[in-house]
Amino acid sequence: MKRDADFQQLARYTGEWMRGEGPESDIVISTRVRLARNLADFPFIRRCSDDDRLSIERTVRARMETIADRLWESAQYVDLEPLSEIDRQLLVERQLISREIAESEGSRAVAFDASEGYSVMINEEDHLRIQVMRSGLDVENTWKQVNRIDDMLEEVMLYAFHPRYGYLTACPTNVGTGLRVSVMLHLPALVITEQMDRVFRSMQRINVTVRGLYGEGSQYTGDFYQVSNQVTLGYTEAELLDLVGKEVAPRIIEYERKAREALLKNNRDDLHDEVSRAMGILSTARKISSEETMHHLSKIRLGISMGLIEKPNVKIINQLFLQSQSAHLQKLQGRILGTAERHARRASFLQQHLSGKDDATWN
Amino acid sequence: MKCQFCEKPATFHITELTEPTGPQVMHLCEEHAKGFLHKGASSPMAAIATALAKQLEQSGDDLEELDQKECPVCGITFKEFRNSGRLGCPYDYTHFESDLRPLLVNVHDRTEHLGKSPHRSAGTADSLARMIKLRSEMDEAIKQEDYERASEIRDELKSMAAPMQPPHSDTDDQS
């Protein structure tokens, strides 16, 4: 595993899972499956001494090295402790690590492959958090990959496992399978037609959690929602995967499609106007916040999916979603920027990519 | 009254009406209340908070005794778990088993693992506890430069990883 990640280089591209491809990709951004695992011979993180954490990090790294060539192609291993705040933030924005591990202290690390489809966090809330991400709605293949990594890691380390309670985790909400399957959905039409509350309520009874993503609680959410299983114990992995991937996500997708059809039928002109205005703002503004950017990019993404506008394509919008976030902007600029500078830099960055001038040079 | 998750005063008293078992009252400080309301009532953390609140109501006087209960392996008290929502070591699932059961039912509805199993395991809960102790003894021996003792412990730890034979495991790899 390579141990020197080039963060500036990383910031220039998106991971494969952000390509905007795969089943239902007009609505589904990505599918993520993660497994929580702990080593049998250490306390959970909360009761670990600094030495324990260091020992876990070293043990896991050494064991992973022994299977690295079978595990993945060209993996990178990043020690998070000595990393600058901005580099950690960059990894959070790319969803390679969680905000929790970025903000915690002590020995901790992440290993990920070149496509950024796989990542293993070490010393997050659990000793190991293994995750696989894929573009679009693809629960089955995502599971297959994460399960394969889990099997291989298990060959070289002993997990904390209880015959009755399954894989033991620091938080009892993850015990059993340790499995969380999450589908990230773009639901602007349900938001516009004020139906999200109904969706939230209907999901509450069926062991599924729906959460807003990005700038949660603020008015500009970008209309992204993550649906995931709430329970982990007492069900097989297949049951949990089907619950999210075959029952719940398809149902929400259907609601969103119906809401989009209704909008096209009844409010086409209003919607087209809103999408065009969003394009106008992003391609002419001189300074803009990340929240406002999300809000307008969301509208543009909807406009593209509904055939109201032709350019740019969804892949570019996904890339703008990622690269207009603070750490990415600063990494691309090659220096730390203050808030005002960031807003100005973000505006010129968006302008540059939405004006349609440099489609050919930009992947 | 103190917040259920920390030592700060509880200034928010939230009654959760969506629980199928009837209304649940929760006492939280401003910060934890924000977190709870933010995440929405369906988040896993909220499920823990609800389950613990229920436990509080039901156990009454016994709570103080339960709060003092301490894991012999990692030293975490039930109170510390109640405040943080995080356990201290794998053995807690054995040591606090009867106290955690209602919480597991509240969160998951079920209490028996049905998913995949590893091919090897530490065996019983007692050997899990022993492994954690041995490991920390080994680290201590290395610190003291007692490498002979450290290598003895390493061998013992290695020998403790046994092939799994749980009821749900697949039986293709018992070698």
pLDDT tens across the length of chain B (175 residues)? 777 777 777 776 666 555 445 556 677 776 666 666 554 444 556 667 777 777 666 666 577 788 889 999 999 999 899 888 899 999 999 999 998 998 898 889 899 999 999 988 877 888 888 888 888 888 889 889 999 999 999 888 888 876 665 444 444 444 3
Mean pLDDT of A142-155: 95
Sort residue A24 into left (φ over 0), alpha (ψ -120 to 50) or beta: left
CB contact under 8 A, A158 and B43: no
Going B87 to B93 to B97 to B101, the CA torsion angle's sign is positive
Query: In which residue are the tokens 């530490």 written?
Result: B122
CB contact under 8 A, A44 and B88: yes
**Mean pLDDT estimate for chain A:** 90
B108 touches chain A (CB under 8 A): yes
Nearest to A195 by CA among A165, A153, A223, A160: A223
Model confidence pLDDT, tens digit, residues A190-234:
999 988 888 877 776 677 877 776 544 444 567 888 899 989 999
Nearest to B73 by CA among B90, B85, B60, B86: B90
Written in H, E and C, the secondary structure of A80-139 is CCCCCHHHHHHHHHCCCCCHHHHHCCCCCEEEECCCCCEEEEECCCCCEEEEEEEECCCH
From chain A, pick out residues whose CB is under 8 angstroms from the CB of B48: 171-173
Query: In which residue are the tokens 């690295």 written?
Result: A68
B93 touches chain A (CB under 8 A): yes
Nearest to B166 by CA among B95, B116, B128, B130: B116
B120 touches chain A (CB under 8 A): yes
With CA atoms as reference, the chain B residue closest to A156 would be B120
Name the minimum distance, in Å, from the CA of B72 to any CA of chain A: 12
The answer to which of A45-54, A65-74, B104-113, B141-150 has the lowest mean pLDDT is A65-74
Q: Which of residues 117-136 of A touch B (CB under 8 A)?
A: 125
CB contact under 8 A, B166 and A38: no
Which of A45, A162, A206 is the best substitution to test chain B (most B C-beta atoms within 10 A)?
A: A162
Q: Which of residues 141-160 of A touch B (CB under 8 A)?
A: 147, 154, 158-160
In this complex, the residue of B41, B114, B135 whose CB is nearest that of residue A42 is: B135
B42 touches chain A (CB under 8 A): yes
Are residues B113 and A176 in contact, defined by beta-carbon separation less than 8 angstroms? yes
How far apart, in whole angstroms, are the C-alpha atoms of residue B141 and residue B155?
A: 14
Written in H, E and C, the secondary structure of chain B is CECCCCCCECCEEEEECCCCCCCEEEEECHHHHHHHHHHCCCCHHHHHHHHHHHHHHHHCCHHHHHHHCECCCCCCEHHHHHHHCCCCCCCHHHHCHHHHHHHHHHHHCCCCCCCCCCCEECCCHHHHHHHHHHHHHHHHHHHCCCHHHHHHHHHHHHHHCEECCCCCCCCCCCC
> What pLDDT score does B16 carry?
58
Give chain B's radius of gyration (CA, Å). 20
How far apart, in whole angstroms, are the C-alpha atoms of residue A195 and residue A184?
A: 18
Model confidence pLDDT, tens digit, residues A159-201:
999 999 999 999 999 999 999 999 999 999 999 998 888 887 7
How far apart, in whole angstroms, are the C-alpha atoms of residue B89 and residue B72?
A: 10
Nearest to B168 by CA among A36, A235, A349: A235
Three-class DSSP category at A352: helix
CB contact under 8 A, B115 and A166: yes
With CA atoms as reference, the chain B residue closest to A203 would be B42
Name the minimum distance, in Å, from the CA of B33 to any CA of chain A: 14
In sequence order, the 6+-apart residues with CB closer than 8 A to the CB of A38 are A44, A126, A127, A128, A159, A160, A167, A168, A169, A170, B90
A197 touches chain B (CB under 8 A): no
Cα three-residue angle B10-B15-B19, rounded to 5 degrees: 130
How far apart, in whole angstroms, are the C-alpha atoms of residue B76 and residue B85?
A: 12
Using 50, 70 and 90 to split pLDDT, how confident is the model at A263? very high
**Both tokens assigned to B43:** 């988040």
The CA–CA distances, whole Å, from A12 to A76, A77, A308, A320, B26 equal: 17, 19, 29, 11, 47
CB contact under 8 A, A173 and B135: no
From chain A, pick out residues whose CB is under 8 angstroms from the CB of B128: 40, 160, 162
How far apart, in whole angstroms, are the C-alpha atoms of residue A170 and residue A128?
A: 11
With CA atoms as reference, the chain A residue closest to B108 would be A231
In sequence order, the 6+-apart residues with CB closer than 8 A to the CB of B52 are B4, B82, B103
With CA atoms as reference, the chain A residue closest to B163 would be A158
B45 touches chain A (CB under 8 A): yes
How far apart, in whole angstroms, are the C-alpha atoms of residue A142 and residue A322?
A: 22
Using 50, 70 and 90 to split pLDDT, how confident is the model at A300? very high
Q: Which of residues 81-120 of A touch B (CB under 8 A)?
A: none
> What pLDDT score does B126 carry?
84
Q: Which of residues 17-46 of A touch B (CB under 8 A)?
A: 38, 40-46
> What pLDDT score does A356 carry?
64
Number of other CB atoms surrounding residue B64 within 10 Å: 10
CB contact under 8 A, A41 and B157: yes
Query: In which residue are the tokens 């894991």 written?
Result: B71
Q: Is the pLDDT of residue A363 over 70?
A: no
